[in-house]
Structure 1
Amino acid sequence: MKKNVMKFAAVAALTVALSACKKSESDDDTITLALLYLVDQTSGNCVTITKNDAAHSGAAGAGDGKPTYTATGTTRPKAACGGAYNVVAIINDVEAVVTSVKAGYQAAKDKADAAGDNCKGANQTSSSLQTTIDAVTALKVQQSIAASTGNSCLALGTGWNLSPLNFGGASISVDPNPAYFGKTVYACSSEEAKTLLLASFKLNTTTLAGSVATDMATDLAFKQKTAAVTASNFKWTADAAAKGRLINVTELTTAGKSGAALIAFTTAAAINNQLVNGGGGATAAAVAARACAKAILANESAEAQGIAAALHNNDPAALTFFAGAATGNFTTGDIITTAQAESVKEVLFSSLQCKYGDFDEEAAGNKTTVGTETNVKNIGTCPAIYPKI
């Protein structure tokens, strides 16, 4: 996401979208181009667009000068699509950066400690978070800022992260200090650097009519069908899967209050995932990691637990592990119980996507077998009004 506890995508798997410059049409790097405010702001729809001329399904190939645009829709608070929303900066104060980073991870460690002995063993969640805390130094922050090219404001660097929770389309802090909690925090070398940072967030922003659910209906339908596959052991009902939708602002706010717990949970889940992938899913260490993750969630509000049970966002490579009763990828119900999953009324998704430009949704690479159904489109074409930049 990479060290397990340094990058977290607990609810929404996108970082803040920022475009410092527009590259040429032939560049094969993925370039963040724009943020789109959709008119349906009551639901907090926000879309990030990237351009890519690399090889991918449904396109003619890499470097042909015909870019493919990918639009990713997430939920954010009303009028919060703008990149400068909730952004704060620590100006030329390395020690303050270190204090904030350590405080955020300490808050997560406190959640792990409160969850009981399964979180406290050797190489388990609490010790892993303590290692992260101990590794944060002023020298590392100084070196990161000094090494940055064309940007003297950073949210993270080698061995430190001011905003470790990727959440609601932004990366946010879990430092309990109210000046930083729930905000995207940057370390800036000067006031001038901060001014340039905030100005850069205003680039390439526009407003469109529409909504994520409508514009990205193909991906939504694919995700709903995927959530309904019985063999996957998610244990959501067919009705809950069919009613699957993008997470809403109220749910994001509720989950955000549990930000430190989400980081602790992700740490435990990552430890378990590493053991499962290595064939050690039945070992005492893996069993303890899953029990720790379960206990961390159990200490949060009933509303937060319900959101965790409903969320389908399982991408271990991105350190996201929510998959109903299949969370943990070993024994059904180890972390989120079958009863919790079966009680879900609507499955929740953290993001939706569509593509356009050099893209053909009918290409074989854009179709997947879901359960027993073949050739299910996994992504569709965005509306024609989406910009080509």
Structure 2
Amino acid sequence: MRIKVHFLLILLFAVHSLLPLFGQTNGIRFNQGDLQKIKSLAKGAKKPIFLEIYLNGCPHCEAIKPILAEKEVGNFYNPRFINWKVEANSAESKALQKSLEITYPEFPMFIFLDAEGKLIHFATPSERSSKQDFVEEVISHGKIALNPSLRTETYAERFKKGERDLMFLINFGKYAKMRKDNQQLLAINDALAQIITQPSDMTSQAGFYVLQRLVNDYENPLAQYFFNHLDEFRAKYPAKDVQETGESILYQSLYGPKADTYSVKLIQQMRESMEKLGVSPQAAASRTLLKELEAYFRSQNTLGAVKRFNEYRKSGVTVGAADYAYLMRYFNEKATESVYLPEMPLWAVDALNAVSTQEQTSALVADIYLELSVAYQKMNKKEMAISSIQKGLEIAKHAKVDTKKYEAQLQKLKML
């Protein structure tokens, strides 16, 4: 009797141990290893690669996990693909992003590669109200990946030919964002603005999704409506989501493909929009200062840049010594007129006053004196220029940093 009981216990333990394996074979069988190993398997099997990018802690990734373990899903993917999954913050993920030159717009993501590792399709599966609908959603992406006329590698050509379906544009926008193709994303956003025109559409879930995920230009009509009707969006969506959406649009605009075309007036409007979002005036001014100065210099309005910087200095914002050093060099390099030069000694005094005790003999202080020397040189004040650079060189030697640029400036002055 003991032997039978003992045997049954062993049998039950063995079955229990194997259950995860049986459960895994019902759904998608994911291979282990890095991209090179997966490509080797794909070449050997003459199959494309299916890759799930997931993020630990992502609720959408957790929601899709049991769907990928469904038998119907496994029956579709296992015979047709070499399957692989990668956590977004893993070493494999970083290597993949570098190899494909992509970023991750959202999670989870489905990426499909050919056996050589070339990207052929990309999708972001949406949760469905029923399990069966969710299963069919996941399988549909695999079917599209196997269809050369439908997968995302064809999107650019289809867009050129005039395809403008809303879901096509949204999917193409996410694909362009993943590929870091910001110029293409601008064109897609322009097309979206031509079909999402009614206020009710702009504030709909689809419209808000486009604003959240895709819009990268402050001048886009969708962005303009958003910033001019923030209360409408706050009434429908969480305040945190509205805030993050606005800041994302502004950030992508200020550092995106159109950033060097924006006028001073438009950048000032962006600053005002930040404040409408709830960003403090001081923080908003700090975020846009450099972009405003760039716009002034583009329009060859050095006096405007000087006035803006001085206005910023007097606004109560703390300007650090490193900020002064950077902006002094920036004016020396970018200014097209000499009107800024009389301000440089004043800026240098404030910069040196902002230096901490620990930084008194640092490269930072040496650089402040270097930029002051360049300004004095431009003012034809040779002796003051030499005196400044000698101080800078002395401090650079004490700080044990490379002294070439200080010595070059001193040599240049001596030859004048």
Whether TM-score is above 0.5 comes out as no
Normalising by structure 1, we get a TM-score of 0.24
Higher alpha-carbon Rg: 2
**Structure with greater proportional strand content:** 1
Q: TM-score, normalised by structure 2?
A: 0.23
Structure having greater relative contact order (Cα 8 Å, sep ≥ 6): 1
